[in-house]
Amino acid sequence: MTAGQQHRPSEGHWPLVGRDAEWASLDAVADDVVRGRPRVVRLEGPAGIGKSALLNAWCRGDDRFRVLRTRCHPLAGQCAFGAVRQLFQPLVASDGEGVREALLAGGTAVQQLLAGGGVSLDPAPSGSGAREALLAGLDRFAQRLTDQQPLLLVVDRLHWIDPQSLGWLVRFLRSGCTRPVLMVVVTPTAEQDRPDPLFAELLHPSHCHTISLGPLGVPDVQRLAQAVWEGADPDPSFCVTCHTTTGGHPLYVRALLQHAQLSGLRPTAEFQDRIRTVSLPTLRREILQCLSQGPPEAVDLAQALAVMGDGRPRHLLAAHCGRGEAVVRAAASDLRGLGLLRADGDLSFVHEVVRDTILETMSPEELGQRHARAAHVSYLGGRPDEEIAAHLLAADPVPGTWAVPVLRRAADEALRRGAPEQAAGYLRCALRQPAQAAESGPVLLQLAVATSSSNAVQAVSYATDALEVLSGTAERREALSLLTSCLLLAPGSGMALSDVDRLFTGGSERGDGGRTDRELDLRLRVLRTWAQCERPTACISTLQPGDDHLLGRTPGERQLLALQAFAALWAGQSAPSIGALLDRATAILPVLSHKTFPLYYFVAHTLLHLDELDKADQLRAQLVKGIEGKGMALLDRSVTAYQAALALRRGDVAEALDTAERAVGIGRATGRPPYAALLDSIRIDALLAQGRVEAAKQVAIGRAAEGPTQEDWEPPMFLMSLAALRTAQGDTRAGLSLLYECGHHVDAAGAVSPAVCPWRSRAAAAHLVLGETGAAQELVAEELDLARRCQIPRAVGVALRMAGKLASGGRRMELLSEAVDVLAATPARLELSLTLHDLGVASTDRGDLAGARSALRTGLTLATECGATGLAKRLRQRLHDTGGRAANVAGMLTPGEERVSALAAKGHSNKEIAEQLFVSVRTVETHLTGAYRKLGIARRNELAAAIAASGTGDE
């Protein structure tokens, strides 16, 4: 079927012309969807080009789908899940049996979201799973609807959609691989696309078909002229002139033809010169001219509707205009008569150009006053808090005390739904309202909570300001824990110790009834100690008299015990004593929140350096679960950075690099990521392990381009990695200088543990290369002594390895063998592989080729498993030099990896391989990554040689 065949001219409608090809495209995609392939269609083009007209006509002509619509408004982006509500609420209101069944499948969270007027059916879900429960419920609700009938979701003006609704649409598209769901999104031209990864994913060409609407042709203009002058045969020259004057823009063509008819013109050649006097800006003048013909009540209603948005209840519009409903009804009739409102009875403009034109006539002051009035009447009318808050955002401060509670409730709702950015906007607006002394402290604290999800530095400022005015003990406790969390999420954010001391004094003196609050003091000690830890210029001290009696019964005690364990680790105390502190700190591990994050942070990083990696991974999983669905982007990136560090500690080089790159990539999209220097350190270490020195150099250049950062604990770690890079580049002296600078930082802070920063053994290796064995031996002896005292096997093994490299004869073999034995019992696979390399070299020097081959072969297997391709190459060469051969890795590759590797080695692209093997490109990439790791290579052009050497490939 074609547009012309399906949609004939009828009274009150313009004929749909010039869109047969676009109509056919919609039909083709719809056929795909009905067969079980979810798709997205994007209708794009400038305002008035006919996107909505095409879509409306097509929907009337295809009854296979259940059509749900939403039309986003500039204020809609301020309301979490606003577009989702507009999509489904009319359907829920219909109360059909199938809808009720689907709604029950969605669960309480969906029932509450879609309840009319924002009324809750049940208490709002809260906690870490609230947003996930809502998203999963929406999935079930929509899936149940698709079981009944294919679903067509129409989102008009997608560029104004709220982030939460956009996120759900993308999520549902991902999950609905066989669901008959067609999403049609209407947008302006692509140049106005939002710089949003979710926006880009929804419109990705792999599942989105874009239909770009262009101008009409001369024959189309002729058909429109026939509809205006019924029975006439428009002259071709008249139609050409109309087309030239309007550029074929449908809205302007229709306006021009109507204007010509009303002016008494006929579609003949003699009137074509009159047509040339009408220009495109005439349309807006025509709209204003139409509006001026209406009574004052109609003008007032048009302005109210432009501000409040389409489809608002008549009683609210009447209250906004200060008139009765009967007057508004009459004014609406006048606007329909003028052609400005839709004829179907809905209080909506015929086109967004009408709204834009009316809004342009209002000054910023008048517009702000209109929004303030809209907010107040919406408040009195019992509208949802987020709807009221959206108007308050666009208004100047309003009189009275009602606005701040509304904005705070809207912020709570936005946070509950995982929309901290909207919550922060509402709360900043609350701070601009007329001062209410009792409200400012709680608002600042709430704002600190909201901004902590994405901007820890801002949250530090808000939490500090809140502490200045809060008087309640419970609120001050919460503010202090939040402040510590934000300092942890923004290393080097620069809170001065003097500021902490001032808070410490104020907190000790303030308490309910004038009493000193012990729990408050404990949390202040945690804050002060961490602020001190951030500046490695004075020794860390956490213990005070009476701390032996801390049992971890309160949140403050648990945080302080965890911090003491962390500080004891850095100070090189024994692993058993650190473990005892951790046991007391984690006896009761509470649910993750901004208040409990300091406890999780100190425990997680202490476990990491104690090599309790299984426990560390379990804690990481708890962290992931705890932040899921909360919209806590900053904390999410922090956990990703921790995951990268954990992978590197395990020796999973490829995973560490991929995870760190992902964290950096996310950070680039939203600002500087937390622990940026640490992430760059992980990237450099992983790249060097793969032998990719040039890539590591580029990371270091990028870090230098960011400029110096404030002092914190990250730079020493980065200096160690930078030293390794300089050494790999052949500048050993520069590397040694960097290692001594690193040592100066950590020693000044009393952080002597080699489990955290083994700079001495690395400096000893540099001295050895430079022939300075005396200095090397002194450093190694000191590190080995510290390592034995801290009783962490990885640290002992690393120091023993360096001691063995410095020794000679039997002592060399003895120390290296001991290092292998110690490291074999740890998760330090990469360090063990390095030690086996050194043991193989030592065995070769002693003439024990069989022992050398055994050590080198084991080390090669480990390096290959780790993905340390650079080390694997060195081990393979050493093994070859001793007359040995690497173990055949053919048995290590999966059948999929073998097939994909063989084709890639022959020069086939990933896409060609996917087509030959009937798999996805992502599957091909996964198989190649596994093969690279097992073969000990880093690039595609190394595949053929690696396969030939290993015996893998076609027989």
**Do 566 and 453 form a contact (C-beta atoms < 8 A)?**
no
What pLDDT sits at residue 124?
Answer: 39
> What are the DSSP calls for 605-672, one per residue?
HHHHHTT-HHHHHHHHHHHHHHHTTTT-HHHHHHHHHHHHHHHHHHT-HHHHHHHHHHHHHHHHHHSS
**Of 882, 847, 844, 868, which Cα lies nearest the Cα of 936?**
868
DSSP sequence for 709-730 = --S-SHHHHHHHHHHHHHHHTT
Beta-bridged to residue 181, according to DSSP, are 151
Structure tokens belonging to residue 77:
């982006």
Q: Is residue 536 pLDDT above 70, yes or no?
A: no
What is the number of alpha carbons within 13 Å of residue 717 lying toward its C-beta?
17
The answer on pLDDT for 707 being more than 60 is no
Across residues 141-152, what is the average pLDDT? 90
Q: What pLDDT does 437 receive?
A: 60
Q: Residue 421: its pLDDT value, please?
A: 85
pLDDT in tens, 65-123: 999 999 887 776 667 888 998 899 888 887 677 787 777 777 888 888 887 544 333 33
pLDDT band at 126 (very low <50, low <70, confident <90, very high): very low
Contact 525, 559 (CB under 8 A): no
Comparing 284-293, 797-806, 823-832, the range with the smallest average pLDDT is 284-293
> What percentage of the chain exceeds 70 in pLDDT?
85
The DSSP result for 73-102, as a single string, is -TTGGGSTTHHHHHHHHHHHHH--HHHHHH
Reduced to 3 states (helix: H, G, I; strand: E, B; else coil), residue 773 is: helix
Q: Quick check: 371 and 365 in contact, CB under 8 A?
A: no
**Res. 620: pLDDT tops 70:** yes
First to last CA, the chain: 55
Angle at the Cα of 651 from the Cα atoms of 646 and 652, rounded to 5 degrees: 75
Among 123-137, 402-416, 892-906, 936-950, the least confident range = 123-137
Query: What pLDDT does 542 receive?
Result: 54
Distance CA 204, CA 201 (A): 5
Torsion of CA 933, 939, 944, 950, to 10 degrees: -20
Helix (H) or strand (E) holding 42: strand 39-44
Residue 231 Rama label (left phi>0; alpha psi -120 to 50; beta): left
Residue with the two structure tokens 């290393």: 491
Model pTM score: 0.68
Mapping DSSP to helix (H, G, I), strand (E, B) and coil, where does residue 555 land?
Answer: helix
Identify the band that residue 587 occupies on the pLDDT scale cut at 50, 70 and 90: confident
pLDDT for 193 equals 60
Q: For residue 288, what are its two tokens?
A: 């204003």
Is the pLDDT at 435 greater than 90? The verdict is no
Instruction: Indicate the helix (H) or strand (E) that contains 69.
Output: strand 66-71
Low-confidence winner among 474-483, 565-574, 597-606, 718-727 (lowest mean pLDDT)? 474-483
pLDDT of residue 498: 58
- Taking only the tens place, the pLDDT of each residue in 750-805 is 778 999 999 999 999 999 999 999 999 999 999 999 999 999 999 999 999 999 99
Binned at pLDDT 50, 70 and 90, residue 888 comes out as low
pLDDT at residue 2, as a whole number: 42
Q: Please give the mean pLDDT across all residues of the chain.
A: 82
Query: For the CA atoms of the chain, what is the radius of gyration?
Result: 34
Residue-wise pLDDT for 227-257, tens only, equals: 888 888 999 999 998 888 877 888 778 888 8
As a whole number of angstroms, the distance between CA 823 and CA 830 comes to 10
Q: In the numeric block, which tokens belong to residue 41?
A: 């269609």
